[in-house]
Structures are given as structure tokens and as C-alpha cells.
Chain A
Amino acid sequence: MNLKRTKLLVEPPATATSDIAFILIVFFLVCASVEPDKGRAQVLPRSEPEKEKDKQSQTIEVELTRTAVILNGNPLAAERFARAIALKLADKTRDEDRIVAVKSRKEVPYSHWMQVTGIIEDAGGVITLQIEEEETVVVQ
């Protein structure tokens, strides 16, 4: 007597593929880190030789300490600084007169620096960095 072999279903269940794919989508979305990409553009003039700097006698000088701002030698709070710098820049029409030299002490944090330079730019100032160059002197 011949017994007929029953055919086995070997096809994988196709309905599961949609679930797999959606799980993969969720995985990629969760893994994708939400990195900030918004910010503020800043135009800095290229560094100039010392001779050029000497011509700008009227440059406003701002010195930054860890928490304070010093405008032309006078320490000011952030709000007073905003008003003072706006007043100083108000009557200046030429770009070269609107240059503000920013000198930071070594311990100034980036957040404070950004806050102060933001105030200067909002007031219409053009920021230049005043960086002290390190020089090694050999003592004999």
C-alpha cells in the first residue's frame, strides 16, 4: 500500500516582514541622536600686523574675566555693559570704527565669552580677538 506524503509548508510567514521592518525603523529613530545644529554666525577680521593695529587709536577695548566684563577699564554688570557698548557704538558709522577688541583671561568660560560677544554684535560691533602671543625667553 502506498501512503501519500503530506506536503509541508516551508514558506516563511510573509506577514512578519512588516513587523521586522517597523521594528528596524523604530530602532534607527531611537538610535539617531538629536544633535543641535543651530547657532550664531560670527565674522572675525583676519589678524593684522602690529603696524596696522596702531592706526586704530579709537578701538573699544573689552576685557573678560571669569564672571565680569571690563569696558575701557571700568568693570560693569552685563545689563549695564549692554547699554554702555550700545552708546559707544551708536555714533560710529564706519566699519573700522566699530571694531571692539576682546581680551579674555585664560579662565573665561566659553558660555560667558559667547554671551558678551553676542551683546557686542547685537550693538553693531565688529569683534577682534586680542591674544597675547607666548614667547619663550632663554635666560643665560
Chain B
Amino acid sequence: MIVKRRKMDATIPAMAMGDIAFLLLIFFVILARARDDSHLQWKPAPGQELSRPQTMNASVVIDKYNVTYLNGREIPAVSLGEALKKILGENPAGRRTVMFKVHHEVTAVYFEPVIEAISEAGGELHHILKEEKKRQ
């Protein structure tokens, strides 16, 4: 007597694919940090041996039009110090990091008063630069 072998179905359940994809989507959206200064136009200056700051408490940008922004909002350099003091509050050392993003062609007349204001507010400066390979 010949017994016919039953054919096994080995298809991947396509219904689950949608769920997996949406879970991935949620994962990426949660991981994405809200950057409210991504619309600003600036090119970083080159630098070597760069490091990533451990905390980011405020972000100061000077764009290619020499305009200063604090956390994505335009602010006159004169009132930057006071605004930073409010943001940094009584944070302990190590939690007062100010990300400083300056367009590489901005001149000292614009960026030096901003550095001074950050320093006066007790901010810990972290210049954001572009990695430049070492010349051999």
C-alpha cells in the first residue's frame, strides 16, 4: 500500500509583517531626539580629537547670517546670559553643558560676546565641530 506524504505548509505569516514594521517605526520615532535647531543654516569648523558631550542642557547657534539662537529661538546676544541662567538654574557641574554651534566663517565680533555670555552664565562650553583627519 502506498501512503501519500502530506504536504506541509511553510509560508511566512505576512500579517505579522505590518505589526513588525510599525513597531520599528515607533522605535525610530522614540529614539529620534527632538532637535529644534535643525532648520538653522550653519557649517561647523574643522577640529580634531572630538568627543560627544555627556549631557546637553542648552544649545546656542550662530548661523551663517550672524544671528544668535538659543534652543532654536532667535535671541539678542545682550539677553543671552540671563536666558541661559534661567535654563541652567542651579544645575550641578557636569549638567551645565551648552552646545555651541557656530558657522565657520562667523567673525569674532559676533561669537566672542556669546562665549562671554555663556561663561558668565556658568555654562560649560562644548564647541560642535566637524572631524578633520590628521595630516600625516
A contact residues vs B (CB 8 Å cutoff): 14-15, 17-18, 20-22, 24-25, 28-29, 32-33, 35-47, 64, 104-111, 113-115, 118, 129, 131
**Once bound together, how far apart are the Cα atoms of A25 and B109, in whole Å?**
44
Contact of A131 among B28, B38, B50, B113 (CB under 8 A): B113
Residues on B with C-beta less than 8 A from A24 are 21, 25
Q: Which residues of A contact B112 (CB under 8 A)?
A: 104, 129, 131
Whether the Cβ atoms of B125 and A44 lie closer than 8 Å is yes
Q: Which residue of B lies closest to A23 (CB)?
A: B21
Interface of chain B residues 59 through 116 with chain A (CB within 8 A): 62, 99-100, 102-109, 111-113, 115-116
Q: How far is the CA of A106 from the CA of B66 in the complex (A)?
A: 13
Q: How far is A51 from B80 in the complex, measured between Cα atoms in Å?
A: 27
Q: Within the complex, which residue of A28, A39, A47, A131 is in contact with B128, where a contact is CB–CB below 8 Å?
A: A39
Give 19 A-B pairs besides A28-B25, A107-B109 with Cβ atoms closer than 8 angstroms: A14-B18, A17-B21, A18-B14, A21-B25, A25-B21, A28-B29, A29-B28, A32-B32, A39-B47, A39-B51, A39-B128, A40-B127, A40-B129, A41-B126, A44-B115, A44-B125, A105-B108, A110-B62, A110-B108
- Asked whether any CB of chain A lies closer than 8 Å to the CB of B52, the reply is yes
Interface residues of B (CB under 8 A from A): 14-15, 17-18, 20-22, 24-25, 28-29, 32, 35, 38, 44-53, 56, 62, 99-100, 102-109, 111-113, 115-116, 119-120, 122, 124-131
**How many A-B Cβ pairs are below 8 Å?**
139
Q: Which residues of B contact A113 (CB under 8 A)?
A: 108, 111
Q: Which residues of B contact A114 (CB under 8 A)?
A: 45, 47, 127, 129
Q: Whole-angstrom distance from the CB of A123 to the nearest CB of chain B?
A: 14
Distance in Å: Cβ of B121 to nearest Cβ of chain A: 10
Chain B residue with minimal CB distance to A18? B17
CB atoms of B104 and A39 under 8 A apart? no
User: Which B residues touch A64, using CB under 8 A?
Assistant: 108
* Contact partner, B24, options A25, A33, A111, Cβ 8 Å: A25
Some 10 contacts from A to B, beta carbons below 8 A apart, are: A21-B25, A28-B28, A38-B51, A38-B129, A39-B129, A41-B53, A46-B120, A107-B109, A110-B102, A111-B45
